[in-house]
Amino acid sequence: MKKAIVLALTATTALAVSAFSTYAADFKIGLSNGWVGSEWRTQMIEEAQAAAAAWKDKGVNVEVVVQSANVDVPGQIAQVRNFMSQGVDAIIINPNSPTAFDPIFKQAKDAGILVIATDSEVSSKDATYVGIDQKAWGAAGAKWLAETLGGKGNVVAINGVAGHPANEMRVAGYKEVFGQYPDIKIVNEVNANWDQAQGQQAMQNLLATYPDITGVWVQDGMAAGAWKSIIDANKQSSIAATGEIRKDFIDLWKKDKLNSGASVNPPGVMASALNVAVPMLQGKELKEPATAGQYGNAMYLPIPFIDNKSLDEAVKAVDGKPGYYSFTSQLSIEDAEKLFK
């Protein structure tokens, strides 16, 4: 019995690992992330926290509270409810589902809370999406590949998770571009679930099956895996393939002089969303209302692109960072304020 009490006390202490700060904030913003397990997400949250701190120089106190855990959709709805209980002014969410948050976002809006989704679009008309257009992201890589190949050749595509909304939009993007080049033939498309090892395996199989491919369209971390197979097969001089944005790959790209180009989905999207949220909370109005995208609620951010010409800048930008650090970009406070009246 005594032990039980001691345990219960330990539990309480463990829960209270950090005392929460109670200083008066101008705005309190909740950040919700429903999937942990890539450095990209960690960097996304860290950049958003830094962006909030940067508002202090402008005389605006922005306090952020974070909920980040591997949760299912109901678990992330609970995260939103917790923010509502705490009385935040705005919620910025990287959502686990495009449609499942319609009811809870409506409740949040009714409670006077600003809701912004980032990284993945949501159907709710009570939320605004601030992030990149995944279709344009896919198209940018395809355009680079088509131009690099001189408009002709056999191409394979390695995709992420079938049925995932972002993946489907990216696929639609490259299909549209390749469709404009009649001499480019997509000989096969496979799914490697955004997993580096699966990407490597898929590339090995594709190289064995189609010895005459000259172009590879591949996304995110899978690109590092695919390139490893290309290098192992000693085909890096005859194949052009899209790349990715982590320091490890950018360094390899530079060292081995790979023929690559990478669309950037910057982890800074959440920070950008925060820099848009603050003027909104101040009651400012957008010059152009956010009405883009399939749900008519999106504000698209520019998508940086790294190719062989801009590679040196990218190398410099990630210099001194750990290998898993992603090349990033953010909408600065100044640029964000320019979007408002």
Partner 1 sequence: MSNAATQTNTGGLGRLIRRYPFLPALIILVLLLALNGIFEPRSLSFRSMTGLISTYLALMMLSVAQTYVVFSGDIDLSAGSIVSLVNVSVIVLMQKWGGDGFSVIAACLVGALIGLACGLINGIVVAGLRLQAIVATFATSIFFTGLALTVLPVAGTPAPEAYWTTYGGRFLGIPFVFYAVAAVAILLAILMRMRLTTQMLAVGDDQQAAFQSGLPVTAIRIKGYVFCGLFAALAALCITGDTASGDPLVGGKMTLYSVAAVVLGGSALAGGFGTVTGSLIGALIIGLINALVFFVGTPSEWQNFVQGLAILLALMTGILVSRGARA
Using rule CB under 8 A, residue 98 touches partner 1: yes
Alpha-helical regions (H) of 127-164: 134-148
Q: 160, 165, 215, 293: which one contacts partner 1 (CB under 8 A)?
A: 165
Is residue 283 within 8 Å of residue 59, measured between CB atoms? no
CB of 31 to partner 1, least distance (A): 8
| Bridge partners, 130 (sequence order) | 299
Q: 45, 62, 92, 158: which one contacts partner 1 (CB under 8 A)?
A: 45
Using rule CB under 8 A, residue 7 touches partner 1: yes
Q: Is 223 helix (H, G, I), strand (E, B) or coil?
A: helix
Backbone φ and ψ of 225, nearest 5°: -65, -45
Cα separation, 296 vs 327, in Å, equals 29
Cα separation, 170 vs 175, in Å, equals 9
Distances (CA, A) of 315 to 198, 241, 321, 329, 332: 26, 19, 10, 14, 21
How large is the C-alpha radius of gyration of the chain? 22
Using rule CB under 8 A, residue 25 touches partner 1: no
CB of 84 to partner 1, least distance (A): 7
Sort strands 27-33 and 90-94 into parallel, antiparallel or unpaired.
Answer: parallel
Between residue 107 and residue 126, which ones bind partner 1 under the rule CB under 8 A? Answer: 107, 123
Nearer to partner 1 by Cβ, of 164 and 235: the residue is 164
CB of 259 to partner 1, least distance (A): 34
Q: 104, 218, 264, 314: which one contacts partner 1 (CB under 8 A)?
A: 104
CB under 8 A: which stretch of 99-107, 176-184, 238-246, 257-265 binds partner 1? Answer: 99-107
Using rule CB under 8 A, residue 296 touches partner 1: no
Using rule CB under 8 A, residue 23 touches partner 1: no
Q: 28, 29, 33, 247: which one contacts partner 1 (CB under 8 A)?
A: 33
Nearer to partner 1 by Cβ, of 41 and 143: the residue is 41
Using rule CB under 8 A, residue 65 touches partner 1: yes
Using rule CB under 8 A, residue 95 touches partner 1: no
Distances (CA, A) of 157 to 47, 139, 188, 193, 221: 31, 13, 7, 13, 14
Q: State the angle between helix axes of 222-232 and 196-209 in degrees (0 to 180), rounded to the nearest 10.
A: 40
**Binding positions for partner 1, rule: CB under 8 A:** 1-4, 7-8, 10-12, 14-21, 31, 33, 36, 42, 45, 65-75, 77-79, 81-82, 84-87, 97-104, 107, 123, 162-165, 168
